[in-house]
Amino acid sequence: MELQQTNEETSGKAVLSQSRRDKGFTLIELSIVLVIIGLIVGGILVGQDLIRAAEIRATVGQIEKYNSAVNTFRSKYNGIPGDLTSDAAAAFGFAARAGTVGLGDGNGLIQGANAGTVMSGTFTQEAGGLWNDLSTANLMDGNFTTNTNNTFVAALPGAAATAVSAVLPAARLGRGNYVTAGSLNSINYWTIAGIGGIAVTTGIYSLSTNLTPIEAYNMDIKLDDGMPETGIVQAHGTTGAASSTPLADAASWSTATPASAAAGDCTTTGGSGSASTDTYNRGVTTGGNSPGCIMRFRFN
């Protein structure tokens, strides 16, 4: 009798336990799960922000390192990389160059043979030779001396297919952004922009707006005044066609600013419409996180 009663009690407990399991999670259990999910999602978003901030700092540091490398090169070889004269290049063992405009003329400016005093859009001339010289002098990471296209020539060989990563250093921000160089109004600049390819024969590249306004602002405020069209760091949103047009057109850095921002705009008019009041389009709802900027940094 007692055994039968024990079995009945055990069976009853099993039924009760099964019944409880069939009811699913309690509100407390669901709340705990939701809190955990929220913490995970929040951690991922914060982690992404931290990664992006680190990439911005690394890109700023990259420009600073290139400035230091150019200054070290100037002190040691009495000229700037890419612009070093043909005689000095031969004496120090750097790549040969013609010594004419845009091909190592020693005038202190990074130029192209077909561009005169505007910023060159042709990497095979002094803009590409700069990286060749810095690599030879062991003043930068990466080696840009082994690619036959990265030489001081007016145009690429007709059969050459050029990989951008072989001749220009990638910006630490990634996303197809590269660092190039050139001059405008007798001032040398670094430029960060998207460069998808380099034309065969001419060596001309097109620049695209691969930086977001928020990224551009954060780099500007770290090195300069935080204003897109004044100071030593500037930005604009013109997507350039082939040749040096996007770099040579001074107006594109000062007048192509909309009165109200929209997705894809790099800058917006801050008030009076002058360069001193124009600001970066940092609004999240107006496209602050959408690629829309090209940046330039004055040599120092």
**152-207: per-residue pLDDT in tens?**
877 666 555 567 888 889 999 999 999 988 887 788 999 998 888 777 666 677 77
Instruction: Give residue 279's pLDDT band: very low, low, confident or very high (50, 70, 90).
Output: confident
Q: How many CB atoms lie within 10 A of CB 61?
A: 12
Average model confidence (pLDDT) across the chain: 78
Residue 222 has pLDDT above 70, yes or no: yes
Residue 5 has pLDDT above 90, yes or no: no
Greater confidence (29 vs 257) lies with 29
Identity of the highest mean pLDDT range in 44-53, 87-96, 236-245, 277-286: 87-96
For residues 271 and 273, what is the distance between their CA atoms, to the nearest angstrom?
6
Residue 1 has pLDDT above 60, yes or no: no
Identity of the highest mean pLDDT range in 182-196, 227-241, 244-258: 182-196
Residue 59 has pLDDT above 90, yes or no: yes
Structure tokens at 262: 């929209």
Q: How many CB atoms lie within 10 A of CB 275?
A: 18
For residues 32 and 120, what is the distance between their CA atoms, to the nearest angstrom?
60
Residue 107 has pLDDT above 60, yes or no: yes
Structure tokens at 14: 């099993």
Greater confidence (133 vs 128) lies with 133
Question: 90, 91, 106, 147: which is closest to 124 by C-alpha?
Answer: 147
Q: Give the mean pLDDT of 126-146.
A: 91
Residue 266 has pLDDT above 60, yes or no: yes
For residues 230 and 224, what is the distance between their CA atoms, to the nearest angstrom?
9
Q: Give the mean pLDDT of 260-278.
A: 69
Cα torsion angle, 81, 87, 90, 93, sign? negative
Element (H, E) at 234: strand 233-236
Instruction: Give residue 250's pLDDT band: very low, low, confident or very high (50, 70, 90).
Output: very low
Question: 113, 252, 122, 254: which is closest to 180 by C-alpha?
Answer: 122
Span 14-35, pLDDT tens digits: 544 555 555 566 778 778 888 8
Q: Give the mean pLDDT of 268-296.
A: 79
pTM: 0.78
For residues 253 and 242, what is the distance between their CA atoms, to the nearest angstrom?
17
Going along 237-277, which residue ranges are E strands? 267-268
Whole-number pLDDT of residue 29: 77
Greater confidence (166 vs 93) lies with 93
Instruction: Give residue 255's pLDDT band: very low, low, confident or very high (50, 70, 90).
Output: very low
Weakest mean pLDDT among 23-27, 87-91, 126-130, 231-235: 23-27
| Domain spans in the chain, listed from the N-terminal domain onward | 30-298
Residue 108 has pLDDT above 80, yes or no: yes
Q: How far is CA 261 from the centre of its chain?
A: 22
Collapsing DSSP to helix, strand or coil, 108 comes out as coil
User: What angle do helix axes 213-223 and 27-77 make, rounded to 10 degrees?
Assistant: 50
Q: For residue 89, what are the CA distances in angstroms to 73, 136, 152? A: 12, 11, 12
